[in-house]
Structure 1
């Protein structure tokens, strides 16, 4: 049984404190107890994401976002019984309590930490011209540029494989033969790769019309110039658990106005904010879609992902956001390419 003392919180602890505990520990969970160490609930990364999306700040208390009905096991339960519970509930860890509800410890089920073999397809958009990275992309497509010791696209594919997603579809166009010659059918990486050829620019969603019949389960769509260490398994589970038809990975973006902003009413000055910082969520270029949304995509036409989400929203279908707090870098310009090479070995 794992020692739980370093992952304990109380209801008045801040979200910032919870993040430090969850991010620093291997178990990626916090346990919330009262003054008598009675278990009140648990807290995970997903709970914090939902709280932040509901406008809580890092300084707010965790009390409103505690998961107050966690699955537990008894101190009398055998290892076999605990494993049975974990498999049934799809849990990584299970708090152990005595018959009064007092926290005794936490069992970590190592077997469940191994990546699963997921059938969901991963569609990677790798047909862009990479004009902002010229002259590097004059003779080689951007996804084949090396970051660290391998092409960007290889790192992306291996990251998906790590989480059990090995059915890859590459939407190719510019210098596609270089990509196909390098990856082939994917067997050398332990994955299965199919190709779809864009004869013209089709946007970040348009190419999906060419492979509709192959997309029967929820599937990923991701830009082929992103480096990120998102837990793709968690994102897929988040999509499914929330009964979403379209999930967008979103990234927090801060913009500081370089001037004093004057708030006026008619000709009257009401207030002045000196160089205010505005916070936004922007698309992270990682999506999960259900087959149902493919009906909105026109055949053989340019169609972008924001337009697809607008269609989903207009038809009152559920679309949700998945906050990306992990490493994320869009390699669109030379400075980002250089940054990726400088950071690659530290991150990956």
Structure 2
């Protein structure tokens, strides 16, 4: 039997609002590719061509987006949930399509882990279930793990500081044998981390853990999304020096005319981007058809498709969604601006999320 894989992509992405009001979280752009594209590519690199994507929220947009960028010989089946089934519950719903070892991962977390390496470990151990692990500085929002002889001996979901015993966390990617599916009840929401894993450990079943190779990042908040763009541009970009550019960049615009601008990596620049004189683009992602005026500063930010930034405006640590126009002499810091927004000249926007279509010129 050929190895199959599952991508869980049904969440609402509430921490990324208002970004996820218009696009599902798995489609947020990261270095020119939707977030879900990295795990699909990881599966493909491991020789997995048959993938089932479980979805619910904005499933029409998700399906359209995935079909645009998937590999030609990758077979994608979509399972649309009428009601949220939980991470394990969503996999239980598709159990009739699974007849051999399979891989499960999350489509709304940045992950380009070495899947083939994890599968090899799983098989070498003779495991029924293997959990991919990674380390983070702040484990309070994740499931922390203690290992002994490659086996999980302790697992705690989202510990408070006094409970923390490890910085090794569950990366949300698992290799599972099909017999595990019988432990997932039907008709009720059921979660891998909160429900299934504690149940299996209490039964005395071994859950193996493997410290996976590759980049992993929770993209739950706008600043995480910005960081994700920087990480993947740094990994997959090209080092440059000269002609007003320095650092690692990915530039999709052919024959770019940025000679009078300064670009510092890691920076991603999409197709048909125009940048005016004396503008500075630093550690940012600029997507397709964006127009940037003269003397503009963009730092640690994301500009999505067809944005227009007028002269002398400054954008720092912010996400500007599609088709938004920023007037001249504006300042935007640590904010999210929704699609098709019009910001009048000399506006000041700090630490807020704006979603109205037209804003007055005195926003502070």
Give the TM-score normalised by structure 1: 0.57
Q: Are the equivalent residues in 1 in contact too, given 2:38–2:112 (CA < 8 A)?
A: no
Match of 1:230 in 2: 113
Match of 2:33 in 1: 150
What's the secondary structure of 1:316's corresponding residue? Answer: coil
Match of 1:314 in 2: 202
What's the secondary structure of 2:185's corresponding residue? Answer: coil
Q: Which moved more, 1:132-141 or 1:279-288?
A: 279-288
Unaligned runs of 5+ in 2: 140-163, 237-364
Structure 1 consecutive aligned stretches of length 4 or more whose deviation exceeds 4 Å: 185-188
Higher helix share: 1
Match of 1:279 in 2: 166
Structure 1 vs Structure 2 CA RMSD: 2.5
Unaligned runs of 5+ in 1: 1-117, 257-276
What's the secondary structure of 1:190's corresponding residue? Answer: coil
Match of 1:112 in 2: none
Which runs of structure 2 are paired with 1:257-272 in the superposition (5 Å)?
none
- The answer as to 2:86 corresponding to 1:203 is yes
Aligned length: 213
- The answer as to 2:24 corresponding to 1:137 is no
Cα deviation, residue 176, structure 1 = 0.3
Cα deviation, residue 309, structure 1 = 1.4
Match of 1:292 in 2: 179
Deviations 1:31-65 (A, max 9, x none): xxxxxxxxxxxxxxxxxxxxxxxxxxxxxxxxxxx
Q: Are the equivalent residues in 1 in contact too, given 2:5–2:48 (CA < 8 A)?
A: yes
What's the secondary structure of 1:128's corresponding residue? Answer: coil
Deviations 1:68-87 (A, max 9, x none): xxxxxxxxxxxxxxxxxxxx
Q: Are the equivalent residues in 2 in contact too, given 1:252–1:282 (CA < 8 A)?
A: yes
Which runs of structure 2 are paired with 1:151-170 in the superposition (5 Å)?
151-170=34-53
Match of 1:216 in 2: 99
Among residues 176, 179, 182, which one is paired with 2:59 in the alignment?
176
Give the TM-score normalised by structure 2: 0.55
1:308 and 1:336 mapped to 2: Cα distance?
28
2:200 and 2:75 mapped to 1: Cα distance?
30
Greater relative contact order (CA < 8 Å, ≥ 6 in sequence):
1
- The answer as to 2:2 corresponding to 1:119 is yes
Q: Which moved more, 1:194-203 or 1:180-189?
A: 180-189
Cα deviation, residue 162, structure 1 = 1.5
Which runs of structure 2 are paired with 1:29-178 in the superposition (5 Å)?
119-178=2-61
Match of 1:192 in 2: 75
Cα deviation, residue 314, structure 1 = 2.3
Q: If you compute each CA radius of gyration, which structure gives the higher value, 1 or 2?
A: 1
Match of 1:339 in 2: 227
Deviations 1:219-238 (A, max 9, x none): 11111122233211110111
